[in-house]
C-alpha cells in the first residue's frame, strides 16, 4: 500500500477550492498554505492562456526531509504518507532546506487570529491549538480522513474532479490506470525522490 494522488492539469481551472478546503480542514495559520495553485500566463496576445500548477507535499517514496531530520519528527508511514510529529520537531528547518518542492512551512509564532486586532473565533480557537510555534508543518494527505475511509479534503472539494487519490501499488487502482494511460509524470524525477503526486499533461 502506497497512497498517491493524480492531478489532471487539463481539468484544473485554478479555482483554489483545493486550497480553501485544505485550510478549512486543517485550520492552517495565515500565510501557510499546505495546498496552493501557481498560475502562469503563456502565449502571446491576443491568444494568451492561463496554466495552473497545483502544488502540495509530494509524499516522496525516498523523502530527503526524513533523511535530514535529527529527531525523527519527519516520518514516512507504512502507507507512504509522510507526516511531521510536532512534539518531536525542534524547528531546525533542515527539512525545509532539503525539500526540493518548497512544500514545508515554519510556524514563527503561535497563531492568534486571521484578522489582527480581533478575537479568535470558535473555529480558530479549536484549530489553531493544533499548530505549534517553532515547528515545521506541511500537507499530510489528510491522514485522519484517509484512515477513516475518506478522501483528502482537496480531492473531495475539487469541483472539476481534477484530483484522484488511491493506492499506487495496486496496478488496477484508478490512480495507477490514469498514470499508465494518461502519461502521468512526476515533478523533478531526476532527483530520485520518487514523488507520490503525479500530474496528467494539460
Q: What is the mean pLDDT of the chain?
A: 96
Tens-place pLDDT, residues 57-82: 999 999 999 999 999 999 999 999 99
pTM of the model: 0.94
Q: Any residues with CB less than 8 A from the CB of 67 and at least 6 apart, and which?
A: 98
CA distance 151 to 130: 21
Q: What is the per-residue pLDDT for 37?
A: 97
What structural domains and CATH numbers belong to the chain? 3-200 (3.30.70.20)
In terms of Cβ atoms closer than 10 Å to its own Cβ (0-12, 13-18, 19+), residue 41 is exposed
- Are residues 17 and 157 in contact, defined by beta-carbon separation less than 8 angstroms? yes
pLDDT confidence band for 136 (50 / 70 / 90): very high
In terms of Cβ atoms closer than 10 Å to its own Cβ (0-12, 13-18, 19+), residue 187 is middle
Distance linking the first and last C-alpha atoms of the chain: 28
CA distance 2 to 71: 24
Tens-place pLDDT, residues 79-98: 999 999 999 999 999 999 99
Amino acid at each position: 500500500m502506497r497512497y498517491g494522488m493524480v492531478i489532471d492539469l487539463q481539468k484544473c481551472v485554478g479555482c483554489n477550492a483545493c486550497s480553501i478546503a485544505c485550510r478549512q480542514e486543517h485550520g492552517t495559520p495565515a500565510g501557510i498554505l499546505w495546498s496552493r495553485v501557481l498560475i502562469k500566463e503563456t502565449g502571446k496576445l491576443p491568444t494568451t492562456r492561463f496554466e495552473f500548477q497545483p502544488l502540495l507535499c509530494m509524499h516522496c517514496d525516498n523523502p530527503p526531509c526524513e533523511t535530514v531530520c535529527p529527531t525523527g519528527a519527519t516520518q514516512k508511514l507504512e502507507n507512504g504518507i509522510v507526516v511531521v510529529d510536532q512534539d518531536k520537531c525542534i524547528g531546525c528547518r533542515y527539512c525545509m532546506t532539503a525539500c526540493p518542492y518548497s512544500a514545508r512551512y515554519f510556524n514563527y509564532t503561535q497563531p492568534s487570529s486571521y484578522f489582527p486586532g480581533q478575537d479568535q473565533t470558535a473555529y480558530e480557537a479549536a484549530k489553531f491549538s493544533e499548530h505549534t510555534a517553532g515547528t515545521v508543518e506541511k500537507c499530510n494527505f489528510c491522514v485522519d480522513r484517509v484512515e477513516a475511509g475518506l478522501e483528502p479534503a482537496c480531492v473531495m472539494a475539487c469541483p472539476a474532479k481534477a484530483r484522484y487519490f488511491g493506492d499506487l501499488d495496486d496496478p488496477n487502482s484508478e490512480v495507477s490506470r490514469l498514470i499508465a494511460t494518461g502519461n502521468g509524470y512526476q515533478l523533478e524525477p531526476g532527483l530520485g525522490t520518487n514523488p507520490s503526486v503525479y500530474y496528467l499533461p494539460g
